[in-house]
Amino acid sequence: MNTAMHIMSIQHQLVLAIGEETDLKKMLYTFLHLAGQCLNTTNNHIFIMQDKQGTPVYQLNNDASIQHFLSFPTRKEGIHTNQSSQLMNLVTDFSEKNIDSEVTQFNSSFYYLFKLGEFGVFIIERKNALSKEIQSALPQVINKLTNSCIASINYHTMVFEIKMRKEVEAQIRYQATHDDLTGLYNRMEVQRCLTKAIQATTVEKKTGYVLSINLMNFKSINDAIGYHVGDKVLRQVADRIKNSTDKETTIAIFNGHEFILIIDHLPANKMKAQLIIGDIIAEIIHTIEHPFELAEGNFSLSCFIGYERFTDNSKTAQDIIKNASIAMYEAFKKSKDKALAYKLIMSEQLNQHIRYTKEIKQALINNDFELHYQPQFDHLYNMIGAEALLRWNHPTRGYESPAVYIPIAEESDLIIEIGNYVLEQACRDIKRLRQRVLPTYFEQISINVSAKQLAKRDFVNNVIAMVNKYQIPASSLKIEITESIMMGNLERSIDGLNTLLKFGVTCAIDDFGTGYSSLAYLKRLPASLLKIDRSFVTDIHLDQSNKAIISMIIQLAKSVNMEVIAEGVETEKEVNCLIELGCYKFQGYYFSRPITFNKLLEYRH
């Protein structure tokens, strides 16, 4: 009876030692410790299945094997150094036999091995043998230990999976709301942030602002140096903006190199809020325009800022961001102020711009454009040529001013399609002109070419193709360019003009003297004619400064073997003054307004 009670006591203590502990190592440590006391062992060992990362598993897979997990020495001698490999050999042999328990003896010690399911082995090490009664009582304890180990492993696997899932979900949420490059909020998240800011501002009676910041000259860094450098600059810009604003400011990157800032919790008083936002904008502009020092070199950027104020929920987040972007675009277009507040008229002008763009596209489809020609004369009043001028005969508004639609066409790149139309129509009209007997003095028709058009890789080939298509002499066509090409790909433009010159198409520089770098680049451009801008011609007989400028232009042209023609000539006094200065070719209302092609044919007769 005493023996039975002793065995039941051992079972009870060992089962209690297993307990409900969820941490596997803690549970096994307690169990091995108590097993040593109850069973008077030398050492107790646990070997269980572990993957390559050392994580316990209870199902065999290609990534797992049975390894030593824990031992609890209960004698001073502990575990001998060479015992580890011996124990591993015992476990390996035992596992291959596929039995539940086994006892073996070597080195004066008894080793009792018990199978822990399919995933582990429990080893009792004793100096003396266990009684058969105790051995027969242990399987119940081992079964409880096996189930508890599985539960613990499952629990930690579940906890680990939940943790990993949460980390993955957090990563997905971060990626969905942030820009990978800068770590700033992205477009979708900034709209959500602004919606919250609008609600908070409305409740708290505060003022908020949205800033739209666009980097100028950034594209040239990507194109000339490489996107890896552009990425470095963008990251530095993001850091600079963060450092120049407080922690409550929401910062996002919007479209490539456009940043959106939400600054709320400003005073309700409009004047006070405006002063604060003015200081913030000034600091942002200053910090962005400070040179960027990189290993690849030093780079400078400028920026334009548009901003919109909000105090309540009368406008949506999308509308406020759109308005700030409109104001930014207006600041860029005017290039007068670095930052502009949004005004309703800006949207009206933009809508008009969009409407005009659509109408220009439709006009190209409907063939509503036509060419008028302004004749050009020499000092003997012989018509020596004509300039082709684009006219838009709108079906409801009549003739539109080129001053309105040409800038819009240039901004939207429709100027390329318009330029192609002008080129082909001019060549077609030259063909018709040459089918008649031309005056001896009539030389050529000139057409205006935009910087964008000239920069196109296929421009030169298009000109040559049109001349060949209509079988006209190349010398009967002249192209007019402005000094704005200096701001584009100058080398490509010069190469293209030289190719055309070899083909026979000559070039004139329009509006000479009103651009920049005129003298520096004049000798490099293969031009045969300078057109003196009308701003210098008007009342030249009364304005000594303009007379001096035109005299200088004429002398300059002679020094580089170019001819000159004066534009905008409107009076006989202007003609006489120009002749005195050495200019013998003219174009203007004094001689003729722009006329249709049919009237040009009649005019010649």
Taking alpha carbons only, the member of 473, 421, 417 closest to residue 445 is 473
Residue 367 Rama label (left phi>0; alpha psi -120 to 50; beta):
left
Question: pLDDT band at 358, cuts 50/70/90?
Answer: very high
User: What is the predicted pLDDT for the residue at 573?
Assistant: 94
- Six-digit token pair at 470? 């209509």
Quote the CA–CA distance of 105 and 114 in Å, as a whole number. 15
Q: Residue 9: how many CB atoms within 10 A of its CB?
A: 11
Q: How many helices (H) and strands (E) does the chain have?
A: 20, 22
Instruction: Please check the confidence at residue 102 and state whether its pLDDT lies above 80.
Output: yes
Rounded Cα distance between 69 and 436, Å, is: 105
State the DSSP H helix or E strand holding residue 384, giving kind and residue range, or none if neither.
strand 383-394
Q: Where does the chain hold its CATH 3.30.70.270 domain(s)? A: 187-342
Instruction: Judge whether residue 597 has pLDDT over 80.
Output: yes
Q: What is the pLDDT of residue 473?
A: 95
Residue 116 exposed, middle or buried by CB count within 10 Å (0-12, 13-18, 19+): buried
The per-residue DSSP string of 424-477 comes to HHHHHHHHHHHTS---TT--EEEEE--HHHHHSTTHHHHHHHHHHHTT--GGGE
Does position 225 have pLDDT exceeding 90, yes or no?
no
Are the C-beta atoms of residues 80 and 67 closer than 8 Å to each other?
Answer: no
Overall average pLDDT of the 343-355 stretch: 88
The residues that bridge with 392 in the sheet, in sequence order, are 369, 400
Distance between CA atoms of residues 528 and 347, nearest Å: 44
What is the structure's pLDDT at 605?
43
- Confirm if 344 and 378 have CB atoms less than 8 A apart: no
Cα–Cα distance measured from residue 402 to residue 395, given in angstroms and rounded to the nearest whole number: 16
Pairing of strands 383-394, 369-378: antiparallel
Assess contact for 252 and 267: CB atoms under 8 A: no
Give residue 37's pLDDT band: very low, low, confident or very high (50, 70, 90).
Answer: confident
Higher pLDDT, 80 or 179: 179
Range scoring the smallest mean pLDDT among 75-84, 136-145, 452-461, 575-584: 75-84
- What does residue 202 show for φ and ψ, rounded to 5 degrees? -65, -45
Q: What is the pTM of this model?
A: 0.63
Above 50 in pLDDT, residue 1?
Answer: no
Sequence-ordered list of residues with C-beta below 8 angstroms from that of 334, at least 6 positions apart, any chain:
340
The first and second tokens of residue 503, run together, are 């083909």
What confidence score (pLDDT) does residue 33 get?
A: 87
Structurally, at CATH architecture level, domain 2-160 sits in 2-Layer Sandwich (3.30)
Span 7-26, mean pLDDT? 75
| All CATH 3.30.450.40 domain ranges in the chain, comma separated | 2-160
For residues 605 and 103, the model is more confident at 103
Q: Report the chain's C-alpha Rg in angstroms.
A: 44
Q: Average model confidence (pLDDT) for the chain?
A: 87
Q: pLDDT at position 516, please? A: 53
Q: What is the mean pLDDT of the segment spanning 102-109?
A: 87
Q: How confident is the model at residue 76 (pLDDT cuts 50, 70, 90)?
A: very low
Compute how many other C-beta atoms are within 10 angstroms of the C-beta atom of residue 472.
22
What pLDDT shows up at residue 228? 84
Mean pLDDT of all residues in 54-77: 77
| Burial of 295 per CB tally in 10 Å (0-12, 13-18, 19+) | exposed
Encode pLDDT of 520-570 as tens digits. Answer: 667 778 899 999 999 999 989 888 988 999 999 999 889 888 999 999 999
Instruction: Give the tens place of pLDDT for each residue, 286-296.
Output: 999 898 888 88
Mean pLDDT in residue range 295-311? 89
Query: 468: which residues sit within 8 A by CB, 6+ positions away?
Result: none
Residues of the chain with CATH 3.20.20.450: 353-604
Q: Half-sphere exposure of residue 538, counting CA atoms within 13 Å on the CB side? A: 4
CA distances from 441 to 41, 222, 381, 382, 509 (A): 124, 51, 10, 7, 21
Q: By mean pLDDT, which of 201-210, 427-436, 486-495 is the weakest? A: 486-495
CATH superfamily of the domain spanning 353-604:
EAL domain (3.20.20.450)
Could you give the CA distance from residue 62 to residue 74 in angstroms, rounded to a whole number? 35
Which range is most confident: 339-343, 393-397, 436-440, 509-513?
339-343
CATH 3.40.1110.10 fits 187-342, yes or no: no
